[in-house]
Amino acid sequence: MKAGSVTLVVLALGSSLVGCAQKSIAPTSFTPQYRSELDLQDVPKLNRCVSLSGIDVMNGLPNKVVGKRTLESSALPAQNISLKGDPTQCVHDASNAMLKLAGINPSDPKGPRMRLRLTDIAMNENVHVNSGYDARVTLDATLINQHSKTCWSQSQSGTSQNYGDSASPINYQETVNHALDRAIMAIVADKGFQDAACGVCRD
């Protein structure tokens, strides 16, 4: 193909993409549904003595709005992304799946009990022809000993990025799930968590 022809093709493709770019955005919502998005190389190696007697999950989100949609190169105001339903089951499913991958027994009667509080989901969707997504999920984690006393606590966040169809419930779920996986793995990979679960939290 001649150089002039190549230039015309490129220009034509560029014009086509511009023509396909979305011109408006609207508020949207999605229902959280957990599926593991974790890369296996992210699974930490743990002390073999780490185990738990159970997991409790609480929803600490201030409201249902968890993100913003913006239209690329546009002055249009951002639109809300909201959750439908209670996210606690999603967090519970994720924590059980991640603990299993890490080799942690979640039902050892001699182990401490873990409490996870979902405190933040911050998602951005940049809309053009398709959408780029990013998210941060933050969890407060606490270990409770057999005497119902707090013996360890920490807050951890996980982040993720994604790309695909705009306003896609599956893309919202995937982006949040991957960030959630990473937040949980950051908790169990923490040396303080492991030391407490093996030591002071068993007193």
What mean pLDDT is predicted for residues 31-44? 87
**Residue 24's pLDDT is what?**
82
Indicate the pTM of the whole model.
0.88
* β-bridge mates for residue 70, sequence order: 126
Residue 15: pLDDT band with limits 50, 70, 90: very low
**11-15, 73-77, 166-170: least confident range:** 11-15
Interatomic CA distance for residues 58 and 109, integer angstroms: 21
- What domains are defined for the chain? 24-202 (3.40.50)
Q: What pLDDT digit, counting tens, does each position of 43-61 carry?
A: 887 888 999 999 999 999 9
Q: Which of 29-43, 92-106, 170-184 is the most confident on average?
A: 170-184
Q: What pLDDT digit, counting tens, does each position of 139-182 carry?
A: 999 999 999 999 999 999 999 999 999 999 999 999 999 999 99
Average pLDDT of the chain is: 89
Q: What is the three-class DSSP state of 111?
A: coil
User: % helix / strand / coil in the chain, to the nearest 5?
Assistant: 35, 35, 35
Tokens (6 digits) for 89: 């089951």
Interatomic CA distance for residues 22 and 24, integer angstroms: 6
**Residue 166's pLDDT is what?**
95
- In this structure, the dihedral spanned by the alpha carbons of residues 158, 164, 165 and 169, taken in order and rounded to 10 degrees, is -30
User: Is the pLDDT reported for residue 5 higher than 60?
Assistant: no
Q: Are 108 and 51 in contact (CB under 8 A)?
A: yes
